[in-house]
Amino acid sequence: MVYIPPLNTEIRRLIAAAGPMPVAQYMSLCLTDPHHGYYVTRDPIGAAGDFVTAPEISQMFGELIGLWAASTWRQMGAPANVRLVELGPGRGTMMRDALRAAQVVPEFNAAAVVHLVEISPVLQRLQQQTLAGISTPVFWHSSLEEVPAGPAIILANEFFDALPVHQAVKQPDGWHERKIAIDRNGNLIFIIAPEPVPHFEGILPPQVRAEPNNSIFEWRTDHVAMEIGRRIARANGAALIIDYGHAESAAGDTFQAVGHHAFADPLAAPGMADLSAHVDFQALAEAASGMGVSVYGPIEQSELLERLGINTRADTLKAGASRSDVVAIELALQRLIGHGRTAMGTLFKAIAFADPKVGVPPGFER
């Protein structure tokens, strides 16, 4: 048998051999290392896991996304074949609820083939179980590039926040990459690279360039957003991306760890806690629009769900429910569209990309 060292050991070995590690490389190893990565080795979602996502809070979320997809397909000219793609489908709950709700447009369900992009074998198995009963064909891929070309509707909820993020810290002589090193006592610590990143100011939006020293700026590679844009602009289609983050690029350290529903130290237990960082919607929009798509939003999650009819849907569900279920539906609704600190309505945002011929996607009308 081949001995595979634990991730903590592996990360220390890499740092000892190659020097301090960029935050993005650390995040990538922690989340998706093929042996020990957080997502690769477990189902982190739900009450017993580390965090709860919108589709797990209520069936209403996936149902409204399903209706969004069916209406968008009509706006696309109802192509006879459409790839219904989801990036990072978690337990498969959103897709199951979406397909059930979209049965009100049978022609859409008949045209759709589901393509799930999922890196985790554990979650792929769960998705298989969740979607076992449905008649729509389902295929799995480990990257968007593997999904066949053609008209597509691409969905992603809480996917981009899990993609590796780089950090740079402003110093008097420029922006220096933030990295992870080992201190004298053997602990993982953050450090600032001695040399500034060359030409970094050139990629910064003006509002970030003006920030004071010690400000942190986070960025991701744009390849997924560009690949979405490229597909949609060439082959007819639209994308709906929902995540937590900021509408405009801004300075700030949002790299965080969450374990058992509480914030934790991101360096404490590599591979054992969920790592994420806020999504920069301005950067996403710029990457996709560079490929020729029209961009709509970002708007707040509450706005999208209200425009798609979540209040009516909640009333319908409540009409046939027991008293305790009515309370549960109301609580779920408040978590999804409420504006408080523990609710998702404001922090979470939605952005849509579409082939310019498709017009304004549902929920994004001004």
Judged by CB, which is closer to ligand SAH: 129, or 187? 129
In the stretch 98-117, what mask flags binding to ligand SAH with x, by CB under 6 A? Answer: -------------------x
Shortest distance, position 205 Cβ to ligand SAH, whole Å: 25
In the stretch 139-168, what mask flags binding to ligand SAH with x, by CB under 6 A? Answer: ------------------xxx--x------
Shortest distance, position 32 Cβ to ligand SAH, whole Å: 5
Q: Hey, what are 146's tokens?
A: 């593997």
Q: Is 95 in the site for ligand SAH (CB under 6 A)?
A: no
Residues in contact with 179: Cβ distance below 8 Å, sequence separation at least 6, in sequence order: 20, 21, 22, 23, 190, 191, 192, 193
Judged by CB, which is closer to ligand SAH: 88, or 196? 88
Shortest distance, position 232 Cβ to ligand SAH, whole Å: 19
- Separation of alpha carbons 158 and 242, rounded Å: 6
**Partner residues linked to 157 by β-bridges:** 242
Judged by CB, which is closer to ligand SAH: 94, or 285? 94
- Separation of alpha carbons 304 and 51, rounded Å: 22
Q: Which of 20, 22, 66, 89 binds ligand SAH (CB under 6 A)?
A: 89
CA angle (260, 265, 269) in 5-degree steps: 75
Q: Hey, what are 344's tokens?
A: 């998702």
Shortest distance, position 256 Cβ to ligand SAH, whole Å: 14
Closest residue to ligand SAH, judged by C-beta, is 88
Q: Which of 78, 119, 181, 267 binds ligand SAH (CB under 6 A)?
A: 119
The residue assigned the tokens 């409540």 is 318
Q: Is 53 in the site for ligand SAH (CB under 6 A)?
A: yes
Q: Tell which phi-psi region holds residue 271, choosing left (phi > 0), alpha (psi between -120 and 50) or beta.
A: left
Question: Which part of the chain contacts ligand SAH (CB under 6 A), choosing from 50-58, 76-84, 177-185, 301-309?
Answer: 50-58
DSSP symbols for 166-205: EEEEEETTEEEEEEEEE-TTS-EEEEE-SSPPTTGGGGS-
Shortest distance, position 119 Cβ to ligand SAH, whole Å: 4
Judged by CB, which is closer to ligand SAH: 178, or 220? 220
- Separation of alpha carbons 141 and 119, rounded Å: 8
Give the CA distances from residue 31 to residues 43, 80, 247, in Å, rounded to whole numbers and listed in that order. Answer: 12, 37, 25
Question: Which part of the chain contacts ligand SAH (CB under 6 A), choosing from 88-96, 282-290, 297-305, 342-350?
Answer: 88-96
The SS3 assignment for 70 reads helix
Q: Is 32 in the site for ligand SAH (CB under 6 A)?
A: yes
Going by their DSSP bridges, the two strands 174-182 and 348-354 should be labelled as: unpaired
Q: Hey, what are 337's tokens?
A: 């569209």
Q: Is 58 in the site for ligand SAH (CB under 6 A)?
A: no
Q: Is 26 in the site for ligand SAH (CB under 6 A)?
A: no
Q: Is 57 in the site for ligand SAH (CB under 6 A)?
A: no
Which residues bind to ligand SAH, rule: CB under 6 A?
31-32, 39, 45, 53, 55-56, 88-90, 94, 117-120, 123, 157-159, 162
